Amino acid sequence: MKPKYFLVLIVVALLCPLLHAQQVNKYYPSGRAPLLAPKYVKLPFGTVKPQGWLTTQLNLQANGMTGHIDEIYGSLKSLASADRGAEYLYCYYEGLMALAYLVNNQTLITKAKAAVDYIISSQTADGNFLGTTEAFDHVAICRGMIEYYEITGDSKALTFLTNYFHYVNSAGLTGNTWSTDRKPEHVPVALWLYNHTGDQIVLDAITKSCVSTLNGWRGNYQNFTFTDSANPSGGYSEYRHNVNIGHAFKYALYYLQSKDTSYKTIYTKGLPLVDKYHGSTCGRFNADENFTGKQPTQGMETCGIAEMSFSMEKLFEAFGDIAVADRAEFLVLNCFAGCNTPDMWGHQYDQQANQILVNVSKRPWNANGDDSNIFGLYPNYPCCLCNVHHTWPRYVEHMWMATQDNGVLASLYGPCQVTAAVGNDSTIVTIDESTEYPFTGTMGFKVSVSKTDSFPICFRIPQWETGAVVQTATTSVTAAAGTVCTLNKTWHAGDSITVTFPMAIRSEYRWNHSVSVMRGPLWYSLKIGEQWKKNTSHGQGSVDWGINSTTAWNIGLKIDPQHPNGSFTVAHNPVTNVPFAQKGQQVYLPGSTSFTTWTQDPPVILKGQGRILTGWTTNAQYTGNANDPPVSPLQESVAGRDTSIELIPYGSARLRVTEFPWISTPVEVLAKALTIKVPEVSATVERNGTCRITVRPTGAFDLAVLNLAGRVVTRIHASGPQSIVLDNTVLHEGAYIAQVTSGGKKFKERISFIR
Ligand SMILES: [Zn+2]
């Protein structure tokens, strides 16, 4: 060997330990050699506790099907493993364990603990359990066993998982089509287990059993062939089945074991391709069983939503990609909320963006039955019945993560409390997050620390938020969209932080150049009068429901797509004890023995203008479906009758139109129709960049101009009558509320401000 090459080798050898050194969190295991460290570390299950409306939602679930499935459908022990329902029932226990402990429901904890004991006691000397050789059954149980271990510290769970991976290493992964296609679902479980135990056999088992399936998924997105966006037909392929796809995005985590960046393309290439050819609203795609293109009457299975949202949470943990965390919120807060009944007793198999009738009738599904869009016990097939239970608990689980520099990150938002070890000397921080997010964009964080210490508290700034402000008592930071805002400082007990997302209304173009309307993480659907009809009762709150419309659904929006924020006013209502209900829906409330017709509005309503389009009708062949929206923009002369309309959160609407045809209407015209008419205050918006607000009552008045998130932009004390001119250094483009207090009375006027 030539001396200079020898020297190079010595230098490389000396550098290798440094090259491998990676910063990992002191308190929460990740990145154990030879694994790469993920960007963040999920905190142990139970570390994040729900508060506010999330507690309400989880308690609804505990009192709904999750708490009663064994009384309505069957238990793990009572069903033979040959039964297809029993096979899927394994998924149920994953959700039951998580929910029971999160809401601290002793009845459910008893059920969950009995299931854990039964499963662990079934493990044989070779590591197999429940007498099944189905890899998919096994991994569903393993996913739940992680949560059980994290929340209880029961070492039997760790031994159980270790024994199972030794079994996989010697026996391989076996089973039916689903088990074969979803083998790499073991990858995240193995990464977690190896980080906790360092047992090399766990990683060997993955290398032996999963790599050829992983290579198949990678190859699928490198040479994607499912590129027909207009209702493609075609049978099953593992790569076009919605639940497989939902699972598979997270197979990109194999990069952390293999260090081969090409495995990351399973999501970096996969997500854009799926969106391009089959994307729908709310971050999902269309595939009833298999890909079906982009038409808004095509659907997606509830299992697909449950698995895709979990994948997005795991991907954010691994790679810190803001877009996938945004998408986890989209999927859970829109699609998952909306494909379940508001009381969490029933679900759909397939949900549609434009869903104008819920009934048993022929629809052009790719593979599903006529009952696929009804809400009920197990429309079409029992898999979703068993798979709906982990999604809300997992959302809570992933709301906060540990950063590798011993801080914490708010990754998904909503009311909760997190307690975690931080800093360099085991400081314990508790952060109370008070908010009605996603219905509002203001979040208050109260910090408690076991001792004064310096560590980072970080906030995910969604890609959709261009006006985020993060404030402490002494600082105010404007944070860029799609970034992480880090506050690295010394924290004292009682410190507080406010994060404000103004949530300007946005729009996106969809099928036939239709438009969808979003605000914050929520999509907004037409509020359609709903009349619920019982088809079949299965006991307690379990009913198969059909839903008829009582108001027009065939609405074209009058909107200025370039200025969607000026095309609507935002009205807030209290978040109720059924957060995703709207008027007319039937709910089986906890403690009740009969259904109640819900009479309250959803927490947010967007008020706007539209036209009932006489030419947009139901489909002649498939009478349960709307025709495609007519190609937009529509002419101003298009036949119909103008009307005021209300849009409500997609998750509150069980009938809905979400992809709207539209008539281009300038904001100035819309503002007139939307203005709150009061004689005491008026606003004139000038095109020269000024806004004149006239206050007519005599005497002292207080004028506050608020943005639509309710934050005061400017405030003036003066005497009326008076006209006040505000230029564009005060008011940026958008919609505001001018609020005048005079003589003990309050007057409001809406202002749309266009440069
Ligand atoms: Zn399903």
**What pTM value is reported for the model?**
0.89
> 675-753: which CATH topology?
Immunoglobulin-like (2.60.40)
| ∠ CA 556-562-564, rounded to 5° | 60
Mean local confidence (pLDDT), 552-569: 92
pLDDT of 12 > 70? The answer is: no
State which amino acid sits at residue 680: E
State which amino acid sits at residue 85: G
Compute, in angstroms, the gap from residue 375 CA to the centroid of ligand 1. 13
Q: The dihedral of CA 292, 297, 301, 306: what is its sign?
A: positive
- Write down the domain spans for the chain: 64-223, 522-671, 675-753
Compute, in angstroms, the gap from residue 379 CA to the centroid of ligand 1. 9
Compute, in angstroms, the gap from residue 735 CA to the centroid of ligand 1. 42
pLDDT at position 267, please?
98
Helix, strand or coil for residue 88?
helix
Compute, in angstroms, the gap from residue 241 CA to the centroid of ligand 1. 11
pLDDT of 678 > 70? The answer is: no
pLDDT at position 236, please?
82
Which letter does DSSP use for residue 333 in this model?
A: I
Compute, in angstroms, the gap from residue 240 CA to the centroid of ligand 1. 15
Instruction: Tell me the pLDDT tens digit for each residue of 276-312.
Output: 999 999 999 999 999 999 999 999 999 999 999 999 9
pLDDT of 508 > 80? The answer is: yes
Mean local confidence (pLDDT), 426-455: 97
What is the per-residue burial (b if ≥16 Cβ within 10 Å, else e) of 148-182? Answer: bbbbbebebbbebbbbbbbbbbeeebebeebbebb
Binned at pLDDT 50, 70 and 90, residue 229 comes out as confident
Compute, in angstroms, the gap from residue 219 CA to the centroid of ligand 1. 26
pLDDT of 226 > 70? The answer is: yes
257 — phi, psi (to 5°)? -95, -45
Compute, in angstroms, the gap from residue 356 CA to the centroid of ligand 1. 22
Compute, in angstroms, the gap from residue 384 CA to the centroid of ligand 1. 3
Compute, in angstroms, the gap from residue 349 CA to the centroid of ligand 1. 6
Compute, in angstroms, the gap from residue 634 CA to the centroid of ligand 1. 38
pLDDT at position 692, please?
73
* Positions of E strands within 356-414: 400-403, 408-410
Compute, in angstroms, the gap from residue 657 CA to the centroid of ligand 1. 23
Compute, in angstroms, the gap from residue 437 CA to the centroid of ligand 1. 28
Compute, in angstroms, the gap from residue 88 CA to the centroid of ligand 1. 9
Helix, strand or coil for residue 115?
helix
pLDDT at position 706, please?
81
Compute, in angstroms, the gap from residue 463 CA to the centroid of ligand 1. 30
pLDDT of 635 > 90? The answer is: yes
Instruction: Tell me the pLDDT tens digit for each residue of 242-258.
Output: 999 999 999 999 999 99
pLDDT at position 84, please?
44
Compute, in angstroms, the gap from residue 380 CA to the centroid of ligand 1. 9
Mean local confidence (pLDDT), 664-691: 66
Compute, in angstroms, the gap from residue 382 CA to the centroid of ligand 1. 7
pLDDT of 16 > 50? The answer is: no
Compute, in angstroms, the gap from residue 341 CA to the centroid of ligand 1. 16
Q: Tell me the pLDDT of the chain averaged across its residues.
A: 91
pLDDT at position 686, please?
54
Binned at pLDDT 50, 70 and 90, residue 488 comes out as very high
Compute, in angstroms, the gap from residue 381 CA to the centroid of ligand 1. 7
Compute, in angstroms, the gap from residue 550 CA to the centroid of ligand 1. 30
Mean local confidence (pLDDT), 424-451: 97
Compute, in angstroms, the gap from residue 378 CA to the centroid of ligand 1. 9
pLDDT at position 669, please?
75
Compute, in angstroms, the gap from residue 303 CA to the centroid of ligand 1. 4
Helix axes 186-197, 135-152, angle to 10 degrees: 40
pLDDT at position 444, please?
97
Compute, in angstroms, the gap from residue 307 CA to the centroid of ligand 1. 10
pLDDT of 722 > 90? The answer is: no
Comparing 97-101, 436-440, 619-623, 725-729, the range with the smallest average pLDDT is: 725-729
Mean local confidence (pLDDT), 171-194: 94
Number of H-type helices and E-type strands within the chain:
20, 33
pLDDT of 15 > 70? The answer is: no
